[in-house]
Amino acid sequence: EQVKEEEQVHAHHGTRYANEQLTLQHNEGIAALTFPPVLQPVSRNGQHVTYALTAQKGEMTFVDGITTDTYGYNGNFLGPVLHLTKGEHVTIQLTNALDEPTTFHWHGLEVAGDATDGGPHAVIEPGVTETIDFVVKQQAATLWYHPHPMGQTAKQVYNGLAGLLYIEDDVVRDIPSDYAVNDFPIVLQDRTFVDGNIVYEDVANTSSTLGDTMMINGVVEPFLTTRNEPVRLRLLNGSNALTYYLSFSNDMPFQLLATDGGFLNEPQEMTKLTLGAGERAEILVDLTNVADVALMHDDIVVLPIETTGEAVQANYSNTLNEIALPVDVTTMEPTKHITMEGMTTNFLLNGQTYDETRIDLRQQRGVTEVWEIENIINEEGAMAHPFHIHGTQFHVISVNGEAPDASLQGLKDTVTVQPGQKVRIAVTFHEVGLYMYHCHILEHEDVGMMGQIEVYE
């Protein structure tokens, strides 16, 4: 009861629970948004392309002229956009130039469940370079990469280890695709600066490490300037814990183009979008007749947007994709049940914490199974948990027995499950190996809200 009273902050988003109370302040728009560089290959030989990524230490000046220690990939903070194409054979040289072990995980990528996937078993020690190799088999999507060492993921991501991974395919889609011109990467992260420094240990909260300051693409309190035209925003929730409830300051509708795993069949018009930690969404926002507007999280300004007055005529088509359920799942009963619980301590999946020596689930490659994920309200209360599975893109079949809303109709690798909800998903793995599934609130993952599934031939 008590939990409920404090927390019905924003009725239009449903019940809000204690640990998600907002500490985030308005983004006043003090710096122009910048965009990560696109990673250039080390070599390219027909369909075989080789990249090199180094996790390294860096320094940044974010606030008050103070220089703080950071982590980054091939740079001081965050990483370049890795741009891959379906059908390509990719080799990536991974170097750990940190003083601590790390891994390189490709969130949303359908690769073998071995060292390629970069889960907690794929540790690279300091000073070591490892090479992975895979073929890109999935459709166009906005994925991302980040470290995954057991118990250290939250800290390493917070300090700056994260980057975007774009997959392109050869389907012609008539949508904005000029990088940083009308197709903008938007990596949303919240941070708390301690005397101008990023010090994870000083702000870490096992329940949810939340920031008071908005940072996008590594820029503190940025604004976006763009022409008056429809623009595509590729949103990544790269925050450790915060669930964003996004809309625009003028409540204008926008079109959802893609979710985690790629394009919807047709754009879906909406005015609000929930994005849990780790989730992505691509949206088309028509700024043709808009002068000033802001992307909001609840009542908080996330990103002020101003237009230049330069209009560009654009007409975009409506057919984006042809995805269908792999089998008729409507009559299938769940074969896997996973409960999630925890609000302040004891973050559990099926009542347990992670054990690297325990295989929790098994599934045959190529066989579709229905999983039911339930967010349990226990004595502590409950909070939203974004449920993520490695190595696959799944379909959301139902939420509390009802058809999912438009934002859940595309392929997903992470689904935000609200307190009390039961979400059914249809899961098919295309590769074999050992994969993680976990809550993508990184603090929860680090304390063991994670399990392992073995996918066999």
Binding flags for ligand C2O, 126-155, as an x/- string (CB under 6 A): --------------------x-x-------
Contacts of 216 (CB under 8 A, 6+ apart): 33, 186, 187, 188, 189, 222, 302, 303
Q: Figure out which of the listed residues 82, 102, 107, 276 binds ligand C2O, where binding follows CB under 6 A.
A: 107
Q: Which residue is nearest to Cu ion (CB)?
A: 439
- Residue 204 pairs in a beta bridge with none
d(C-alpha 375, C-alpha 379), whole Å: 13
Residue 278 beta carbon to ligand C2O: minimum distance, rounded to whole angstroms = 5
C-beta separation of 244 from 298 below 8 A: no
Residue 297 lies near ligand C2O (rule: CB under 6 A): no
d(C-alpha 293, C-alpha 302), whole Å: 11
Residue 390 lies near Cu ion (rule: CB under 5 A): yes
Residue 412 lies near ligand C2O (rule: CB under 6 A): no
Interaction residues for ligand C2O, span 380-399 (CB under 6 A): 388, 390
Q: Which of 88, 98, 104, 101 is nearest to 52 (CA)?
A: 104
Q: Which does 234 bind (CB under 5 to 8 A by kind): Cu ion, ligand C2O, none?
A: none
Residue 390 beta carbon to ligand C2O: minimum distance, rounded to whole angstroms = 5
Interaction residues for ligand C2O, span 421-450 (CB under 6 A): 436, 438, 440
Within 188-313, where are the H helices? 200-203
Q: Which H helix or E strand runs over 80?
A: none
Q: Which H helix or E strand runs over 32?
A: strand 31-32
E-strand stretches of 249-357: 254-259, 262-270, 273-275, 280-286, 292-297, 300-311, 336-341, 348-349
Q: Figure out which of the listed residues 29, 36, 222, 278 binds ligand C2O, where binding follows CB under 6 A.
A: 278
Residue 191 lies near Cu ion (rule: CB under 5 A): no
Q: Figure out which of the listed residues 146, 234, 280, 385 binds Cu ion, where binding follows CB under 5 A.
A: 385
β-sheet with 230-237: strand ranges across:
219-220, 213-216, 183-191, 230-237, 280-286, 254-259, 262-270
Residue 252 beta carbon to ligand C2O: minimum distance, rounded to whole angstroms = 31
Q: Figure out which of the listed residues 105, 191, 232, 336 binds ligand C2O, where binding follows CB under 6 A.
A: 105
Q: Total residues contacting ligand C2O (rule CB under 6 A)? A: 10
Smaller CB separation from Cu ion, 140 or 439: 439
Residue 444 beta carbon to Cu ion: minimum distance, rounded to whole angstroms = 3
d(C-alpha 257, C-alpha 265), whole Å: 8
d(C-alpha 124, C-alpha 390), whole Å: 19
Q: Which of 328, 303, 317, 217 is nearest to 265 (CA)?
A: 317
Residue 107 lies near Cu ion (rule: CB under 5 A): yes
Q: Total residues contacting Cu ion (rule CB under 5 A)? A: 6
Smaller CB separation from Cu ion, 62 or 437: 437
Q: Which does 441 bind (CB under 5 to 8 A by kind): Cu ion, ligand C2O, none?
A: Cu ion
Chain residues in the site for ligand C2O (CB under 6 A): 105, 107, 146, 148, 278, 388, 390, 436, 438, 440
